[in-house]
Structures are given as structure tokens and as C-alpha cells.
Copies of this chain bind each other. A is one copy, B any other.
């Protein structure tokens, strides 16, 4: 039986606990900052142990997973680093990787073995009440080793995410940040901007929405402070993605009165989007 310490009782932390239990072979211990959250974890029976005592939760852990907002990671990492053994593997679920791997990775240097991770799962729902064992099934999980990453730790972190059901992909931290700016951070910004643009133009517009608008804007219901932090941390790549989107959109607007070029553009987009459906 290995011991898994999960730091942070949100949707991802709770789902990791449930998915590890489903896989078997792990004792799960979940840390939460607030006593009320610990009581909720106990009531829901999500982990084998739960506590507000960070050092107690990570003591003896084989694997520690940081499931807190990226801004909270360095301070928690410093506390954890003194309480784990050198063989302990540490990973995280942060949505931005270059800064996390540089800052948090350095804290564990020589005091554990850090590997950056980013499971592309979750939803606009938050909190441990939405946690489920199936969250990672078929989801991409990106691991982001750099020159300092221990090869054995990388292999174990890859195997861990596969055990939880994820497809593991591997890229360097900076490349990760450019890719998620495109497929996650820009779409979030667009969804929020679309909601606010539509209502600014017509206050009654929401009464007229169909399922298309609901899907297109779903991610805008995600937690604002967490997303503001993600967008700020990855601002250069997000800005570049948004500028590319604006430039492309400006070009497409000029095709509005031309059926053939617009059909060709929409056909190309549909062909790619259909390919995405097959990938999933």
C-alpha cells in the first residue's frame, strides 16, 4: 500500500482521491486549510484520512499532489519540503507550468523529487461536492519535465496519471504554457468576453439563447479569482493567442458577404472540429 497525500480539497483534489481509491493500492490523505472542509471530506468519505495538519498529511507519503491555486503553491511547498523524505515524489495540477516548475520545483530540489503536471479535466463546477472518480478517464494529462527532473520520478508520475484514467502527454514547461493559452486560457477569455459583449449590446439577449450559446460560454462560469491568476501568470502567451484570434476574426468578417470563401472557411473549421470529436 502506497500513501498519497493530496493538498487541497477542490474538484481536482477530491477526484484524485476517488480515482486513486478506484484504482486500488493507495492510502489517501487529504489536506484542507479549513476545519469545515476537513469535516466535509470526512462526511463524504472521500479520503482515508483528512486533516488541517499539513506536515502530518505529507509525512511518509510516497506521492504528494498539490491541488491548490498556483499562487498558493510556493508557501505550501516550503512547508512540505521540510516534512518529506528525499525519495518522496511531488507533483501538482496547476494550469500554468513554466513558473510553477521553476519556483515550486526549486523548493524541492534535493528535498524530494518534483514533476509538473496539468490534467486537462474539470469543469465550471468547483468544490469537493463535484468530485468524481471518472473525472480523468480519457482526459489529457500533460507532464512537463525540465532539465532538473528525475527520470524515475517522471516515470512514476506518468504511471500515476495513467492509473487514474488519463492519456499522458509530455512537453517542456514553456511549450505547455503556449499550448494551454490556445486551448484553455483564450477560450475562457472569449467565453467571458462573449457573455459581457452580448449583454452590453442587448440586455434581453439571454432570453433568446439556444444550446449553442450555453455551450460556447459554459467555461465563463468558472471561478473568477483562480482564472484571473492563471491569465496573469500566463499573460504573454494569452496576449499572443488573443491577438492572433482578433487578427483572424478581422479577416473572417470581410468574408461575410461571400458565400464561397465563407463556406470554405467554415468547412475547414468543421473538418478540424470533427477530427477533435474522434480524438475524444
Contact = CB atoms under 8 A, between A and B. Distances in A.
Interface range, A side: 35 or more
A100 to B, nearest CB: 17
A239 interface: yes
Contacts of A227: 266
A274 B221 CA distance: 6
Interface string A249-280: 11011001111101101111110111111011
A186 B222 CA distance: 22
Given A190-B216, A239-B253, A257-B232, A140 B200 contact: no
B205 A194 contact: no
A98 to B, nearest CB: 15
B225 A209 contact: no
B216 A266 contact: no
A186 B214 CA distance: 13
B229 A259 contact: yes
Contacts of A139: 210-211
Interface string A120-148: 11111000000000000001101000000
B232 A242 contact: no
Interface of A: 120-124, 139-140, 142, 169, 178-180, 182-184, 186-202, 204-225, 227-229, 231-232, 235, 238-239, 241-246, 248-250, 252-253, 256-260, 262-263, 265-270, 272-277, 279-280
29 contacts: A123-B211, A139-B210, A169-B208, A179-B205, A182-B197, A183-B206, A186-B197, A193-B245, A193-B249, A193-B252, A194-B245, A195-B269, A195-B273, A195-B276, A197-B244, A198-B241, A200-B244, A206-B272, A214-B280, A218-B273, A220-B270, A222-B270, A224-B270, A225-B259, A228-B260, A229-B259, A242-B253, A246-B246, A246-B250
Q: Which 4 pairs of residues, A with B, have the shortest CB-CB distance?
A: A120-B210, A224-B266, A192-B269, A235-B256
